[in-house]
């Protein structure tokens, strides 16, 4: 069966804009967190201990139907995995999966995981709005899993903070705060060697379980079910160090490439005092000393760290491609449309800011005049028509926003 193109998948789904009304304010108690305010939740549970919340989102429906999820898993630019546990053997396959490549819903003990659903569907992205009491810089993605009776991914742990929201059918979760996180050897996926559950619940649609990193857990479907995992990444110190040093090196290369930079000559290693050697293969201790002296001079400022963090954490995932509008409006028409319907960030756009800069999809720009409007656009992911009209008096702003619109980073359009 031919694979459906991403465009086909796109057309097949209703596209709705995110609703900023769903974003909880820090001090307001919310049923999403079992009556706690986000401020209380962050203080008492975030990164500390699990929390089970019954009816966090009463009446919730899966953001995508089963068939829509399967269609997504059939697309080349979507990360999907099929995990089966047939005859007590774990197996893992990576997508895309054609409709005839998945077991039937009547077959027991399989699960389909679709990563980054928020990047591909506005309804999935809208669900994330509810979780924006935690910083966007920590957000990873929304994964949607579909499982048949008895399906799951086995007992494991994650290095993520995760909210496991049941959106269809039932799933039995068992969790434990065990120290022994050793894994079974020779498995195609991470399965704990000695899972020791301490607590157990059956989650129904609307129920949610928050788990901090490294809590052992196992979720098994009771009948057909769907679960949304809202994941927050915690980059490891080695990832941050590697990426920062890489960023620093790249920036150094850019500086040296600047015309008139003094870098060229002084940046060369020099050894005018090197004597002739009888053992050419021996590493000269003086060379190591010189390199150590050069490295000791590597300096960076807090500003460099902010630039790196903002750029790195606003970088879209490798598989993200922005769709430019098919027939882009010219600037005047764009301004007229946006004045009526407002503008919103595309669901794939990551826009962060600090006191000095903003970071748009991995690039840093100085805030300057944009400080008057950009933080509101970044926090709400939307600016209404009225606000846009006040901005439209400045032709630099409309030119900039029109550029973003042509690149597919923002769209015109109302909130749902």
Q: Is 84 in the site for ligand SIN (CB under 6 A)?
A: no
Residue 115 binds to ligand SIN (criterion: CB under 6 A) = no
| Residue 219 near ligand SIN by CB under 6 A | yes
The Cα 322–Cα 41 span in angstroms is 35
Q: State the DSSP H helix or E strand holding residue 309, giving kind and residue range, or none if neither.
A: helix 302-313
Other CB atoms within 10 A of residue 257 CB: 10
| 24, 30 Cβ separation under 8 angstroms | yes
The residue nearest Co ion at its CB is 158
| DSSP class per residue in 97-139 | --GGGSPPTTSSSEEEEETTHHHH-HHHHHHHGGGTTS-GGGE
Of 166, 227, 361, 380, the one binding ligand SIN (CB under 6 A) is 227
Residue in the structure block whose two tokens are 């389909």: 112
Query: Measured between alpha carbons, how far is 61 from 78 in angstroms, rounded to an integer?
Result: 22
In the complex, least distance from residue 188 CB atom to ligand SIN, rounded to whole angstroms: 15
Decide: is 145 part of the binding site for ligand SIN (CB under 6 A).
yes
Which of 321, 175, 301 is CA-nearest to residue 248? 301
Q: Does 158 bind Co ion (CB under 5 A)?
A: yes
Residue with smaller CB distance to ligand SIN, 34 or 219: 219
| Whole-number Å distance between alpha carbons of 111 and 183 | 21
Query: Is 153 one of the binding residues for ligand SIN (CB under 6 A)?
Result: yes
List the one residue from 136, 158, 204, 304 that touches ligand SIN (CB under 6 A).
158
Task: State which residue, 153 or 335, has the beta carbon closest to ligand SIN.
Answer: 153
Cβ 194 to ligand SIN shortest distance, Å = 18
Residues near 278 by beta carbon (within 8 Å), at least 6 away in sequence: none
Q: Which is nearer to Co ion, 7 or 199 (CB)?
A: 199
Question: Which one of residues 217, 381, 402, 411 is an interface residue with ligand SIN (CB under 6 A)?
Answer: 217
Number of residues that bind ligand SIN (CB under 6 A): 11
Q: How far apart are CA 227 and CA 223, in angstroms?
A: 13
Q: Which stretch binds Co ion (CB under 5 A): 156-164, 167-175, 177-185, 331-339?
A: 156-164
The beta strands (E) that lie in 204-278 are given as 208-211, 216-232
Q: Which stretch binds ligand SIN (CB under 6 A): 147-155, 197-205, 270-278, 395-403?
A: 147-155
User: Residues in the site for ligand SIN, rule: CB under 6 A?
Assistant: 111, 145, 147, 152-153, 158, 162, 217, 219, 227, 229
């Amino acid at each position: 069966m031919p694979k459906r193109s991403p465009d086909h998948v796109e057309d097949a789904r209703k596209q709705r804009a995110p609703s900023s009304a769903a974003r909880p304010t820090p001090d307001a108690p919310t049923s999403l967190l079992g009556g706690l305010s986000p401020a209380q939740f962050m203080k008492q549970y975030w990164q500390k201990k699990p929390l089970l919340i019954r009816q966090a989102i009463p009446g919730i429906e899966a953001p995508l139907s089963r068939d829509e999820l399967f269609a997504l898993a059939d697309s080349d630019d979507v990360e999907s995995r099929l995990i089966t546990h047939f005859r007590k053997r774990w197996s893992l396959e990576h997508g895309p999966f054609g409709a005839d490549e998945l077991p039937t819903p009547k077959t027991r003990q399989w699960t389909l995981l679709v990563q980054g659903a928020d990047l591909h569907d506005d309804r999935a992205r809208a669900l994330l709005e509810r979780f924006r009491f935690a910083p966007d810089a920590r957000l990873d993605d929304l994964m949607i899993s579909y499982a048949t009776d008895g399906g799951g991914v086995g007992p494991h742990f994650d290095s993520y903070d995760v909210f496991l929201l049941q959106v269809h059918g039932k799933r039995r979760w068992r969790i434990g705060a065990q120290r022994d996180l050793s894994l079974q050897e020779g498995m195609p996926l991470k399965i704990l060697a000695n899972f020791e559950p301490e607590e157990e619940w059956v989650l129904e649609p609307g129920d949610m379980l928050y788990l901090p990193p490294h809590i052992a857990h196992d979720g098994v479907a009771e009948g057909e079910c769907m679960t949304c995992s809202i994941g927050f990444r915690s980059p490891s110190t080695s990832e941050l160090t590697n990426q920062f040093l890489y960023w620093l090196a790249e920036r150094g290369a850019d500086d040296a490439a600047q015309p008139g930079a003094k870098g060229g000559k002084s940046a060369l290693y020099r050894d005018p005092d090197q004597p002739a050697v009888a053992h050419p293969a021996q590493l000269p201790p003086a060379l190591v000393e010189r390199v150590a002296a050069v490295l000791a001079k590597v300096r960076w400022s807090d500003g460099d760290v902010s630039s790196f963090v903002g750029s790195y954490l606003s970088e879209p995932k490798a598989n993200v491609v922005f769709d430019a509008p098919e027939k882009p409006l010219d600037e005047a028409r764009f301004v007229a449309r946006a004045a009526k319907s407002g503008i919103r960030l595309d669901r794939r756009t990551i826009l962060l800011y600090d006191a000095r800069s903003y970071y748009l999809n991995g690039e840093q720009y100085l805030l300057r005049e944009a400080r008057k409007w950009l933080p509101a656009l970044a926090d709400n992911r939307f600016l209404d028509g009225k606000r846009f009209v006040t901005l439209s008096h400045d032709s630099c702003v409309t030119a900039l926003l029109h550029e973003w619109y042509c690149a597919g980073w923002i769209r015109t359009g109302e909130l749902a």
